[in-house]
Amino acid sequence: MTAHQSITSPVFSAETLERMAALYPLQAGLLHHRLPDHPLLSLEALAQLGESLPANEVEYNPGNVPIGIVPEDIPSNGLSIGETIRTIDSNGSWAVLKNIENVPAYRALLMDLLGELKSVVEPRTGAMLTPQGFIFISSPGSITPFHFDPEHNILLQLRGTKVMNVWPSGDERFAHRREHERYHTGGHRNLPWQNAYQGDAQQVPLGPGDAVLMPVMAPHFVANGDAPSISLSITWRSEWSYRESEAHAANATLRRMGLDPAMPPRWPSYAWAKTVGWRIARRLRLVS
């Protein structure tokens, strides 16, 4: 594996940090980055990384899937992860390498980038917890299906183009509270899709040097452009994001008891009693 190469100048400019401060943590929006060509992010380095990761930390499949698809319906592309990445120009696939922070050189890169964001993040949502990194490698025209994620996230576009289609977090028109409850009790991240949603999308086009700030649990899908794409997703959790997760998990328990709990508010300090109750119940093994 290629050794870590230090970044010698800021990747996020003062103007980008100011823009992020206006958006974070609740709004999606376009940012910019100055991450130079990096040996850890070349196609061959990523193929080697994919081959070194455990099977549960790689995901890859054909890229010509519908926007809305349930996990069990996603077909295999018939290739290994290394073959998928090395031939991404022509094999019509989509791949993600997960939890790259478990590889020391990639963790160093991730922490360098997250360190530049602390001055914006920590005054708003507190300490940056559970840093994780994900790398997406996509063939021309591929689709990443409609889904949401529990992390605060900035996706840096490194090669190729794509359009991020985003919907507001916490809006039940696009992800009902039951979908949040299902996800936060162990369900898959993919969401039910309706074509009528498209008219309400915030579209964020991305090319090399662009980035997008993605709020916690914002429904989205990604449409790749007409060239192969590489993107680096740098993510972190906060006490706020964990409280939101626990509030949804607590609601799932209440729903199994026959109740119909309301959607938790987007600023989970208001859900304090419910999340503390969930933590106590989990410690006492009253819930799984």
State residue 268's pLDDT score. Answer: 56
Note whether residue 191 is domain-resident. Answer: yes
| b/e map 38-60, b = 16+ CB within 10 Å | eebbebebbbbbbeebeeebbbb
pLDDT in tens, 39-98: 999 999 999 999 999 999 999 888 788 898 888 788 888 889 999 999 999 999 989 999
For the whole model, what pTM was predicted? 0.90
Structural domain that includes position 105: 14-237
- Are residue 158 and residue 268 in the same domain, yes or no? no
Mean pLDDT of the chain: 91
Residue 136, φ and ψ in degrees, nearest 5? -110, 130
| Percentage of the chain exceeding pLDDT 90 | 76
- Are residue 27 and residue 143 in the same domain, yes or no? yes
Structural domain count of the chain: 2
- Are residue 222 and residue 265 in the same domain, yes or no? no
Tell me the two tokens of residue 158.
């490194």
Query: How far apart, in whole angstroms, are the C-alpha atoms of residue 101 and residue 98?
Result: 8
Note whether residue 128 is domain-resident. Answer: yes
CATH number at residue 193: 2.60.120.650
Secondary structure (DSSP) of 45-110: HHHHHHHHS-GGGEEEEES---SS--GGGPPP-SS-HHHHHHTTTTS-EEEEE--GGGSHHHHHHH
